[in-house]
Amino acid sequence: VDAVSSAAARTISSLNEQPAFFDAGGETLFGILTRPASGRRDSALLMVPSAERLGYRSRVGAMLAHRLAEAGHQAFRFSYRGCGESTGIAGRFRLAELLTDDVGGAVSWLGEQGIGRVYYSGSCFGARTALAAAADEPASAGLVLVSMPLTNFAPGEYGRLTTAGAPAPASVAREALSARRLLDLRTREGRRFYATAIRGKIKRIRRGTSVSDEEKNQVSKQMLRSLTTLLDRGVPILFIYGDADGAYQEFLEASKGPFGSLIRKAGDRVEVRVIPGLLHGWVSLTAGEAAVGLMTDWVSRVDRPELAA
C-alpha cells in the first residue's frame, strides 16, 4: 500500500489537469486535458468514451491519462452529450449512429489549445466512434481500438439475440419450476411477475430467431471504409482485445475475409495485441491495467518528441 501511495502522490505532482467545457454539435461537453508538469507537445491521445455514462470505466481513464503524462504525453478525456457533466441527452448508443460530432468538438477544442495531432482511442462503441471520427479528420495521427466490435449490433443486443434465440437452459427451467418460485404463484403480484417474464421470453425468442447467423457475423461496411481510409493514409493502428471478448471472436472470424486482408496488407502499421481474460467494458482490473500498459507503450513509441522550447 505504501508503494502504491507514493506512486499516486508522484503521479499527481508530475502532471497538470485542465478541465474544460467546449461546444460540440449544439451542446456543451465537459472534458479534462492532462499534461506533463513541464514540456510542450502538439499532440494528445483523445480518449473517446464508450457507451457508458462516465466513459472510460471507473479510474481507467484517469489511470491512462496519468500514466501518459508521467511518460511525457498529453491526454484528453471527455463525456458525450447527455453523460457526465455535459449537456444534452445521450439517446440510446447505437453502432449505426456514432457520436462523431462530439468527437469533432473535442478535436476542435484541442486545436484551440495548439494540439493539432490527435491520436484517437476508444473501447467498444468508443472504438467505433473513434475510428469513424479519425477517418474524417486528415490530421489524425494514430488509433488505439480496444475490444472493437466489427458488426453493427447495438450494445447488449448481440448477447440478447444469442441467448434469447436459444432454448432456455435446464438450470433456468429448474429455477422457474422450483418450489420457492411456484409458491410465488399464490399471490397476485407473483402471478403477474411470472406472466410478464414468460411474455418477455416469447417476444425475445421471436425477435432472436428472425436474425440469421450470416447477419450476426456481418462486418460493418462503414467500419471497413473508415479503416481503409486510415490505412491508405498510413496511419498506425493498435488493436487490443481480451481473449474472452465477444468482439475478439468477431475479429478472428472477420480476419478470414476482406477485413483480414486489409490489416495484413498494412504490415507493421497495424499491431494486434491480445490480453488474457475479458477486457470488454473494463470489467477486470488485471486486463484493464494490462491494456493501459500497452496503450502507454504504444503512444510512447509512435508519438514524436516534445516540441523545442
Q: Which residues bind other proteins (CB under 8 A)?
A: 1, 4-5, 8-9, 12-13, 16-23, 28, 30, 32, 51-54, 57-60, 62, 82-85, 87, 89-93, 154-156, 189-190, 192-193, 242-246, 276-278, 281-286, 288
Q: Which is nearer to other proteins, 9 or 139 (CB)?
A: 9
CB of 249 to other proteins, least distance (A): 9
In whole angstroms, how close is the CB of 78 to other proteins at the nearest point?
11
Nearest-CA neighbor of 285 among 96, 54, 109, 63?
Answer: 63
Q: What percentage of the chain's residues is helix, strand, coil (to nearest 5)?
A: 50, 20, 35
Q: How far apart are the first and last CA of the chain?
A: 38
- Residue closer to other proteins by CB (options 113, 228) is 113
In the complex, the smallest distance separating the C-beta of residue 57 from other proteins, rounded to whole angstroms, is 5
Q: Which is nearer to other proteins, 236 or 281 (CB)?
A: 281
In whole angstroms, how close is the CB of 262 to other proteins at the nearest point?
26
Closest approach of other proteins to the CB of residue 266, in Å = 28
Dist CA 150 CA 251 (whole Å): 7
Distance CA 88, CA 40 (A): 33
Nearer to other proteins, 123 or 140 (CB): 123
Whichever of 190 and 228 has its CB closer to other proteins, that residue is: 190
Q: How far is the CB of 44 from other proteins (least distance, A)?
A: 17
Amino acid residing at 6? S
Q: Name the strand (E) or helix (H) holding 249.
A: helix 246-254
Between 193 and 229, CB nearer to other proteins? 193
- CA within 13 Å, CB half, 121: 28
Strand order in the sheet with 237-242: 15-24, 27-36, 75-78, 43-48, 117-123, 140-146, 237-242, 270-275
- 240-262 per-residue burial string, b: 16 or more CB within 10 A, e: under 16: bbbeebbbbebbebbeeeebeeb
Strand partners, 21: 30
Give which of 100, 111, 52 is closest to 76, Cα–Cα.
111
Q: CB 38 → other proteins: shortest distance, Å?
A: 15
Nearer to other proteins by Cβ, of 51 and 254: the residue is 51
